[in-house]
Amino acid sequence: MKIAVLGTGGGARCHIAKLGELGHEVLVGTREPAVTLARTEPDMMGTPPLAGFLAEHPGAQLHTFGDAAAASDGVVINGIDGHNAVRALSAIADQLAGKTLIDYAVPFIYRHEPEHPWPTPWGIMPKLEPVDTDSLGERIQRALPRTKVVKSFVTQEQSTVVDPKSVGGGEHTMFVAGDHEDAKRQTVDLLTSYGWTDILDLGPLVSARGMEMYAHLHSAIGFGLGQRFGGHFGIKVVR
């Protein structure tokens, strides 16, 4: 299949690499391909330049966000950071019309003003916006009424989303939520191809609130386990 991945950060690269391994044609979207390819230094998160990554993953082709979305067969993975997602996706609403958009972003705001220190033992904990009575997933769906938004992947690091067996042999739970059953089925099929066996449907997209707000507990569990960055764990719903 032709699957689009919007974004070129560490999380997006996990999906690009895995989808390539699974034999898919991967359409990678970025704002300005020439600018992205010209970078020669790691970004602020320490992610190496994309050019080298693409050289190692010849099945992936770099396009603009809109061209990548338009060329996908139907599934688009949103790896654009939460702060910019609604604006960037709204700009390509036509190219996303009719597609399934799987969103895994946490709507973190990295403001470090003294009046909002948000200190935690593992560093500054970013604030969520929206939170509690709304979610980024719902905001994206409202901004893109012709697109079928599914929230998923968000409750753990993307390196473990694409390799569930690497954590406890795969004995953990992945969640999906969305207002479109066919889009959720596509997401479950994709997750199954990644190796997931316990996928729990949380119902409509309103459940994205809980999935995004879990980010704080995820960080705290990582701290509790002594894994300050890039936690290598999952949670299993025990019935």
Hey, what are 195's tokens?
């190796």
Nearer to its own copies, 53 or 223 (CB): 223
- Going through 7-107 in order, the beta strands assigned E by DSSP cover 25-30, 60-64, 75-78, 100-103
Instruction: Give the residues across from 198 on adjacent strands.
Output: none
Closest approach of its own copies to the CB of residue 160, in Å: 10
Q: At what angle do helices 208-224 and 136-143 cross, to 10 degrees?
A: 150
Q: What is the DSSP letter of 149?
A: E
Q: Which is nearer to its own copies, 1 or 220 (CB)?
A: 220
Query: Least separation, in Å, of the C-beta of 83 and its own copies?
Result: 15
Q: What gap in Å lies between CA 98 and CA 36, rounded to an integer?
A: 28
**At closest approach, how far in Å is the CB of 19 from its own copies?**
24
By C-beta, is 3 or 215 nearer to its own copies?
215
User: Can you tell me the distance from the alpha carbon of 91 to that of 181, in angstroms, rounded to the nearest whole number?
Assistant: 25
Residues that bind its own copies (CB under 8 A): 116, 118-121, 125, 127-128, 131-133, 155, 167-168, 171-173, 175, 177, 200-204, 206-207, 209-211, 213-221, 223-225, 232-239
**131 vs 143 by CB, closer to its own copies:** 131
Residue 225 CB, shortest distance to its own copies, in Å, is: 7
